[in-house]
């Protein structure tokens, strides 16, 4: 069961799920800013791997969101690559992301059934994968790039004493 918010999301072995958890005295504060900054983070990581990735909603996408990470074909936002959701609890927040790297066909099939059962509109063609735009990208390459990017961010934000 997906503990973060949002609509139905599907994933399989060709996807990466990234859950980021942080303590916060007021976890509701900054909700919108987190969506924006994580969207930018994931788009930049994918772009570094040759994927034409950007932030913004794709018309008709599943689990629509202003800060979805999408891929462009001929300059047009066409396929959703990363979906994000948040959950806040007393004293902390969870930001969960699903990065679709390979084989979007099974996801389209599941989401078609789920969205039909929920009577929610969507366009199945919007469910895509990073490999649709950069054929050689792999789950391992995206994982390595995300870990490197997280490591760089943690080093930049670490308190001075912990850098020694």
Mean pLDDT (the chain) is 91
| Residues 35, 57: Cα–Cα separation, whole Å | 12
pLDDT of residue 153: 79
The SS3 call for residue 85 is strand
Whole-model pTM: value is 0.89
The SS3 call for residue 55 is strand
**Contact in structure between 132 and 58 (CB atoms under 8 Å):** no
| Residues 144, 122: Cα–Cα separation, whole Å | 32
For 51-79, the pLDDT digits (tens) are 999 999 999 999 899 999 999 999 999 99
The SS3 call for residue 82 is strand
What's the distance, CA 2 to chain centroid? Answer: 14
pLDDT of residue 88: 92
For 108-158, the pLDDT digits (tens) are 999 999 999 999 999 999 999 999 999 999 999 999 999 999 998 766 665
- For domain 15-156, the CATH superfamily is Bira Bifunctional Protein; Domain 2 (3.30.930.10)
And the tokens for 72?
């462009």
Mean pLDDT of 2-26: 84
| Residues 69, 97: Cα–Cα separation, whole Å | 10
Check pLDDT > 50 for residue 164. Answer: no
Alpha carbon separation from 152 to 26, 53, 146 (Å, rounded):
26, 20, 10
pLDDT of residue 152: 86
Check pLDDT > 50 for residue 8. Answer: yes
């Amino acid at each position: 069961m997906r503990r973060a918010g949002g609509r139905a999301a599907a994933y399989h072995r060709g996807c990466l799920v990234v859950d980021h958890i942080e303590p916060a005295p007021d976890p509701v504060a900054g909700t919108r800013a987190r969506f924006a900054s994580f969207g930018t983070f994931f788009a930049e990581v994918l772009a570094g791997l040759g994927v034409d990735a950007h932030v913004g909603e794709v018309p008709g996408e599943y689990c629509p969101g202003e800060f979805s990470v999408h891929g462009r074909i001929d300059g047009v936002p066409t396929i959703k690559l990363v979906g994000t959701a948040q959950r806040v609890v007393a004293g902390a927040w969870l930001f969960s992301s699903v990065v679709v790297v390979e084989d979007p066909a099974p996801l389209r099939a599941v989401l078609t059934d789920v969205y039909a059962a929920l009577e929610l509109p969507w366009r199945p063609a919007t469910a895509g994968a990073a490999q649709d735009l950069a054929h050689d990208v792999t789950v391992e390459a995206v994982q390595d790039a995300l870990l490197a990017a997280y490591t760089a961010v943690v080093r930049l934000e670490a308190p001075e004493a912990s850098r020694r």
